Every structure is written in C-alpha cells, then in structure tokens.
Amino acid sequence: GALVYQYPRRTICKSGTSMRMECQAVGFQATSVAWYRQSPQKTFELIALSTVNSAIKYEQNFTQEKFPISHPNLSFSSMTVLNAYLEDRGLYLCGAREGLGGRQYFGPGTRLTVL
C-alpha cells in the first residue's frame, strides 16, 4: 500500500539553529509534495507545494529563504527550517500525492520544539 514516512518524528533545536526534516513516499510516485505546519492552537497551514519538474510554490508568509525544500525524485522530499525561533515550533506535516487526481497521503509529522 501507499505510505508516507517522515523523519525525525520529534526534534528539539536551539533558537537560531536549523533543522532538516525528511519525507519518504513508499508504494506510489510522489508527483507533488505539500508541506504543512500546525502551530500550537492553530490549524494546518500550507507552507509550500513542490511538484517534480516545476518550481516550488510558497504560500504567503513562507519563503524559500526560511524553508528551503528539495524534491529530487518521485519518492523523497526534504525541508529545512533555517534559523528556527519559538514561532517555528509545531507539527510539520508532509502530504504526497501521485498525479493530479490522486489521493493525498500524509506522513506522521515531525514535531519541532525550539528552545
């Protein structure tokens, strides 16, 4: 079956440092990968949408300079949180889908704590 793994599941970093998280699709080809963040007391916000062979599209309030994303093939994507601060803490979710009409599969999330 189709699965999405995320690594690490939980991580703690010091304020001002950077943290890289990974997303792995198994059992299907992740044509597009969406990264979301759920901050404390908030809903899931879309950070960016990455489609293989297309430019990565960032949502308002999120930039490539802060959240660089790599999507080198149809099974893997990574995102880095650069210079993490308190407001960056939360659950980072990866959603991957195959093609335009396929179902989106979510990973278990990476929970980021910033000290």
Partner 1 sequence: GQQVKQSSPSLTVQEGGISILNCDYENDMFDYFAWYKKYPDNSPTLLISVRSNVDKREDGRLTVFLNKSGKHFSLHITASQPEDTAVYLCAAGASSGSWQLIFGSGTQLTVMP
Give the tokens for residue 27: 């059992």
The nearest distance, CB 43 to partner 1, in angstroms, is 4
23 close to 77: Cβ distance less than 8 angstroms: yes
| Among the listed residues 28, 107, 112, 114, the single contact to partner 1 using CB under 8 A | 107
**Sign of the torsion formed by the C-alpha atoms of 26, 91, 71 and 97:** positive
Q: Which helix (H) or strand (E) holds 20?
A: strand 19-26
Task: List the one residue from 64, 73, 104, 115 that touches partner 1 (CB under 8 A).
Answer: 104
User: Which positions from 26 to 55 touch partner 1 by CB under 8 A, shown as an x/- string?
Assistant: ------x-x-x-----xxx-x--x-x--x-
Q: How far apart are CA 46 and CA 55, in angstroms?
A: 16
| 69 contacts partner 1 (rule: CB under 8 A) | no
Q: Does 108 bind partner 1 (CB under 8 A)?
A: yes
> 64 in helix, strand or coil?
coil
Contacts of partner 1 in 75-94 (CB under 8 A): 93
Of 14 and 99, CB closest to partner 1: 99
Burial class (CB in 10 A: 0-12, 13-18, 19+), 61: exposed
Q: Which residues bind to partner 1, rule: CB under 8 A?
A: 32, 34, 36, 42-44, 46, 49, 51, 54, 57, 93, 95, 100-101, 103-104, 106-109, 111
